[in-house]
């Protein structure tokens, strides 16, 4: 039986929380904007809920959850949700990723 | 058609958090399951996140409460004041009368 989910770490032994200021990178701002549009908070069409975002973040394997940054978790979860909802297919996603990789390899920004 | 579950607790009522670990997206923290506390207030009623996470409507809306627990009950090694409290927002279907 599964008991505590990896993400559900309230009360677990941990060090001191050190808040740090940092800038967001362009892609992180885009991921945030994507979520605002997809969840229908502003503009766009509602395509998912924040609860699905959470569910798919919580479904990440513990190693991935630890390794990924905040917005890496978001973009992974949003992608998973779009596949689950049939907005995109895995084939479309795979082909697009190949296309982007090829574009970067060929040096065109 | 009633889209909201009626609240069954009022402030001051003693409640116990259900001790369950179902799969899915659960908003009741692990550390508070099985603990006894008291209703501090009703926060309103909201579509259920557990259902919203699975592409369903989450209706009927479930009452959400702020529930107060004593820190020394929750953490066996707690060394702060005897009256120190911890408040957690918990949906009604996770609570039983204590």
Using 50, 70 and 90 to split pLDDT, how confident is the model at A48? Answer: very high
The percentage of chain A sitting over the pLDDT mark of 90, rounded to a whole number, equals 79
Q: Is residue A52 part of a domain?
A: yes
Residue A109 has pLDDT above 70, yes or no: no
Which DSSP string do the residues of chain A spell out, in sequence order?
---S-TT--TTS----------PPPHHHHHHHHHHHHHTTSSSS-----HHHHHHHHHTS-HHHHHHS-HHHHHHHHHHHHHHHTTSS-HHHHHHHHHHHHHHHHTT--
What CA–CA distance (Å, rounded) separates B7 from A66? Answer: 39
Q: What ipTM score was computed for the predicted complex, to two decimals?
A: 0.89
Which DSSP string do the residues of B1-55 spell out, in sequence order?
---BPPP---TT-EEEE-----SS---S-GGGTT-EEEEEEEEEEE--HHHHTTT
Number of domains making up chain A:
1
Residue A97 has pLDDT above 90, yes or no: yes
Whole domain around residue B20: which residue ranges?
A: 14-97
Q: Establish if B75 touches chain A: CB-CB under 8 angstroms.
A: yes
Identify all chain B residues contacting A55, using CB atoms and an 8 Å cutoff: 24-25, 53-54
pLDDT value at residue A106: 86
Q: Write down the residue that tokens 């200021």 correspond to.
A: A21
Identify all chain A residues contacting B50, using CB atoms and an 8 Å cutoff: 51
Using 50, 70 and 90 to split pLDDT, how confident is the model at A80? Answer: very high
Whole domain around residue A32: which residue ranges?
A: 27-105
Q: Is residue A13 part of a domain?
A: no
pLDDT value at residue A1: 56
Contact check, Cβ <8 Å, B21/A3: yes
Using 50, 70 and 90 to split pLDDT, how confident is the model at A107? Answer: confident
Identify all chain A residues contacting B74, using CB atoms and an 8 Å cutoff: 11
Which of A1, A54, A84 is nearest residue B21 as measured by Cβ atoms?
A1
Rounded to two decimals, the pTM is: 0.90
Q: Kindly report the length of chain B.
A: 98
Q: Classify burial at A32, counting beta carbons within 10 Å of its beta carbon; exposed 0-12, middle 13-18, buried 19 or more.
A: middle
pLDDT value at residue A43: 78
Q: Is residue A45 part of a domain?
A: yes
pLDDT value at residue A2: 62
pLDDT value at residue B85: 98
Contact (Cβ atoms closer than 8 angstroms) between residue B85 and residue B68: yes
pLDDT value at residue A53: 98
Q: Is residue A101 part of a domain?
A: yes
Identify all chain B residues contacting A8, using CB atoms and an 8 Å cutoff: 26, 29-30
Which CATH number goes with the domain that contains A74? 1.10.472.20
In tens, the pLDDT along B13-52 reads: 999 999 999 999 999 999 999 999 999 999 999 999 999 9
Number of domains making up chain B:
1
Minimal C-alpha gap between A93 and chain B (Å): 21
Which of A4, A54, A85 is nearest residue B30 as measured by Cβ atoms?
A4
Q: Is residue A22 part of a domain?
A: no
């Amino acid at each position: 039986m599964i008991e505590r989910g990896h993400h559900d770490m309230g009360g677990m032994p941990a060090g001191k929380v050190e808040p740090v200021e940092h800038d967001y990178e362009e892609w992180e701002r885009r991921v945030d904007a994507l979520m605002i549009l997809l969840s229908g908070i502003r503009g766009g069409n509602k395509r998912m809920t924040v609860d699905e975002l959470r569910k798919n973040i919580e479904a990440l394997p513990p190693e991935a959850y630890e390794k990924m940054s905040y917005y890496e978790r978001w973009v992974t979860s949003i992608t998973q949700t779009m596949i689950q909802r049939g907005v995109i297919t895995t084939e479309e996603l795979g082909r697009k990723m190949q296309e982007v990789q090829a574009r970067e390899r060929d040096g065109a920004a | 058609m009633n889209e909201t579950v009626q609240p069954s607790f009022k402030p001051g009522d003693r409640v116990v958090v259900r001790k369950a670990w179902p799969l899915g997206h659960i908003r009741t923290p692990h550390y508070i399951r099985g603990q006894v506390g008291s209703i501090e207030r009703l926060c309103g009623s909201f579509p259920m996140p557990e259902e919203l996470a699975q592409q369903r409507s989450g209706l009927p809306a479930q009452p959400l409460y702020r529930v107060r627990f004593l820190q020394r009950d929750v953490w066996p090694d707690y060394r702060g004041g005897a009256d120190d409290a911890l408040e957690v927002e918990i949906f009604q279907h996770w609570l039983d009368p204590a």
